[in-house]
Amino acid sequence: MMSPHVAIDDLTVDFGELTALRDVSLSIEAGEFFTLVGPSGCGKTTLLRSIAGLEPPSAGRVTIGGADVTAAPPEARNIGMVFQSYALFPHMSVRENVAYGLQFHDVGDSDRRVADLLELVDMAGLADREPSQLSGGQQQRVALARALAPEPDVLLLDEPLSALDAKLRTELRAEIQAIQRELGITTIYVTHDQSEALAISDRVAVMHDGRLEQVATPETVYRDPASRFVAAFVGDNNVFEGVVTDGTVAVDGGTLPLPSGANPGDGTAVAVAVRPEAIAVAERSDKATDTALSATVSTVEFLGDAYRVHCMWNGRTVVVKTGADDPPEGDVVLRFDADETRVF
């Protein structure tokens, strides 16, 4: 069995009385596109900086390629890093920025290496411009090329697209993913954007309060969240509090189904998470069943290929996603797909 390319073992990082990371253990395979996602302050950037050697751990170990680099300085780890702020040298041209790191590494023909990378990130025609003459997206492409120039073993990206508009973010994340696939470089990506994490990653680690909540494929994280936090944080979700009663969940003013095979026992207090697309909407004239809720449509958002419908039930909003046909209105019945509900 092959050893992981990057391994983090029981890593803890303390900032005085604040613990930013708590006993984090993680394995990342060679060539994997791995994403750390979570809310602000959850520890994802601290973990990335610890891998880079920019944040010394209070305890634990970091290995890259089988070598223990816990005490090694950043320049001894053979990593490339792209920062949120781009951090380009303003007095250097695009070509000079990309070539800067090559003075410390032997990659053969450095001019050829720079030219190939500028071609790879679609910046070949702008090699003589200075950073101030570039758009935000172009600057980020240059920062990526500069990080890749020394042929690093691992590429680290710290929220590299957060300063860009939504359309450009979508375009650039697809380009970054394509470049990563072409080069086969082990990549660790930090973002607070759940949709971004799900779209581009081989695996995702959801972080909360300095710990790992779940590490899995994007599909698993979305469809089978390991905790209530993951269910609430990743994508839209409706979370209900209730008590298991006769094989269903009694909530305040209604009853929800339990998924098949999940029955914690009568009297157990649980939280039920249901994705908006797992709720069917019917006219109120269709009688509500034992596991359906009577609600009233309050607002409707047009998404282009679907509608996001906000329904009022028992003083709270239940979000439903429907197809692109006419959206529901007025009084409705909400029916739940038992196999798509999750109980915590």
pLDDT value of residue 292: 81
Q: Which of 215, 232, 249 is the last residue of a domain?
A: 232
- 77 falls within a domain: yes
Amino acid identity for residue 268 in this structure: T
- 110 falls within a domain: yes
Strand partners, 33: 187
**48 & 178 share domain:** yes
CA distance 334 to 341: 14
Q: Which of 180, 205, 232 is the last residue of a domain?
A: 232
**304 & 336 share domain:** yes
**242 & 211 share domain:** no
pLDDT value of residue 286: 55
**321 & 213 share domain:** no
Domain of 195? 6-232
* 142-152 pLDDT per residue, tens: 999 999 988 89
**63 & 193 share domain:** yes
99: left (phi over 0), alpha (psi -120 to 50) or beta: alpha
With cut-offs at 50, 70 and 90, classify the pLDDT of residue 289.
low
Contacts of 152 (CB under 8 A, 6+ apart): 78, 79, 80, 185
**252 & 216 share domain:** no
**135 & 241 share domain:** no
Name the pTM for this structure.
0.89
Amino acid identity for residue 326 in this structure: D
Q: Which two tokens stand for residue 188?
A: 């660790």
Neighbours of 234 (CB within 10 A): 22
Which CATH number is 335's domain given?
2.40.50.140
Q: Contact 196/44 with Cβ under 8 angstroms?
A: no
First to last CA, the chain: 34
**224 & 240 share domain:** no
pLDDT value of residue 104: 73
Mean of the per-residue pLDDT values for the chain? 90
Contacts of 95 (CB under 8 A, 6+ apart): 114, 118, 127, 128
> How large is the average pLDDT for residues 13-39?
95
CA distance 102 to 105: 5
- 123 falls within a domain: yes
* 327-337 pLDDT per residue, tens: 888 999 999 88
Amino acid identity for residue 270 in this structure: V
Maximum separation of any 2 CA atoms in the chain, in Å = 75
Given a cut of 60, whether residue 10 has pLDDT beyond it is: yes
Q: Residue 145's Cα: distance from chain center in Å?
A: 23
Radius of gyration over every alpha carbon of the chain, rounded to an integer in angstroms: 24
Q: Which two tokens stand for residue 38?
A: 């979570």
- Give the DSSP H/E element, type plus range, for residue 2: none
Total domains, the chain: 2
> How large is the average pLDDT for residues 222-234?
92
Strands 33-37 and 186-191: parallel
DSSP designation for 298: E
> How large is the average pLDDT for residues 17-35?
96
pLDDT value of residue 81: 92
Please tell me which residue, 222 or 282, carries the higher pLDDT value: 222
pLDDT value of residue 312: 94
- 51 falls within a domain: yes
Q: Which two tokens stand for residue 232?
A: 């609430």
Which CATH number is 111's domain given?
3.40.50.300
Among 187-201, 218-232, 248-262, name the one with the lowest average pLDDT.
248-262
Q: Which two tokens stand for residue 36?
A: 């750390």
- 167 falls within a domain: yes
**133 & 262 share domain:** no
**155 & 23 share domain:** yes
With cut-offs at 50, 70 and 90, classify the pLDDT of residue 263.
confident
Q: Contact 151/105 with Cβ under 8 angstroms?
A: yes
Percent of the chain whose pLDDT exceeds 90: 60
Q: Which two tokens stand for residue 217?
A: 């494929």
CA distance 24 to 11: 5
CA distance 254 to 116: 62
Given a cut of 70, whether residue 287 has pLDDT beyond it is: no
Q: Which of 232, 254, 275 is the last residue of a domain?
A: 232
Given a cut of 80, whether residue 261 has pLDDT beyond it is: no
- 172 falls within a domain: yes
Q: Contact 294/284 with Cβ under 8 angstroms?
A: yes
**59 & 129 share domain:** yes
- 199 falls within a domain: yes
**284 & 264 share domain:** yes
Given a cut of 50, whether residue 260 has pLDDT beyond it is: yes
Phi and psi dihedrals of 155, rounded to 5?
-110, 125
- 1 falls within a domain: no
* 47-77 pLDDT per residue, tens: 999 999 999 999 999 999 999 999 999 989 9
